[in-house]
Chain A
């Protein structure tokens, strides 16, 4: 597809389990971002990848959160030992350059519910 693709679209899991969220960016986009959106709130930055540079992890809320980007394309966000406060929509975005002067295009997110 032409847009950012995220999977799964919904994920329900028990507290304490690990989850993996996947993002396929727009082909050719070098920059990839993860955000979190809690119910009725704005977006909270989590992590950023640009080309082969070391990722900017400054937004990750705890060491239970990690992300990787393989081959400069697909990215996986992993949350270990999930807690109820991790429940949110996790959004991925990509842009064709990472200097912050071109728009980020978003996927429809993964809605994560922790029971």
Chain B
């Protein structure tokens, strides 16, 4: 079946560097994508979203890029901080009722 997946299960980043987390999706009909951050023992926390009619969206220290041609989504975190250490999930909306399909997640580890 169609699915959302992540290229890298673990990403180690030095504090202050930029992080890039990648996600591949296979459902060409998906029209809405979200990045979530999940810390241990907590629920997923919304970071940023993007609709399929856009290719870039910026938030505070984060940027999401969408390349529909190759069905690729990425999350860029600028000046990564220790508090950014968490598991990051991409999710796609694959129907008109808002059900999200999640990737397996990428563990981001920020080292001093």
- Contact surface of A with B, Cβ cutoff 8 Å: 4, 6, 31, 33, 41-45, 48, 50, 56, 59, 91, 93, 95, 97-101, 103-109
A–B pairs, 14, beta carbons within 8 Å? A31-B98, A42-B102, A42-B105, A43-B44, A43-B91, A45-B101, A48-B97, A50-B98, A56-B97, A56-B99, A100-B93, A101-B31, A104-B34, A104-B46
The answer to whether A41 and B104 have CB atoms under 8 Å apart is yes
Given the interface pairs A103-B46, A109-B43, the reply to whether A50 lies near B34 with Cβ below 8 Å is no
The answer to whether A50 and B43 have CB atoms under 8 Å apart is no
Interface string of B77-112 (1 = CB under 8 A from A): 000000000000101010111111111110000000
Which of A42, A48, A93, A103 is the one whose CB lies under 8 Å from B103? A42
Residues of A within 8 A of B61 (CB): none
Which of B44, B51, B95 is the one whose CB lies under 8 Å from A106? B44
Residues of A within 8 A of B89 (CB): 42-43
Given the interface pairs A41-B104, A43-B89, the reply to whether A99 lies near B43 with Cβ below 8 Å is no
The answer to whether A33 and B99 have CB atoms under 8 Å apart is yes
Min CB–CB distance A57 → chain B (angstroms): 11
Residues of B within 8 A of A104 (CB): 34, 46, 98, 100
The answer to whether B97 and A98 have CB atoms under 8 Å apart is yes
- Contact surface of B with A, Cβ cutoff 8 Å: 31-32, 34, 36, 41-46, 49, 51, 89, 91, 93, 95-105
Residues of B within 8 A of A108 (CB): 41-43
The answer to whether B43 and A33 have CB atoms under 8 Å apart is no
The answer to whether A105 and B97 have CB atoms under 8 Å apart is no
Residues of A within 8 A of B32 (CB): 100-101
A106 to B102, CA, bound (A): 14
Residues of A within 8 A of B36 (CB): 106
A43 to B102, CA, bound (A): 6
**Closest 6 pairs (CB-CB, A-B):** A100-B98, A106-B43, A100-B93, A42-B102, A43-B102, A108-B43
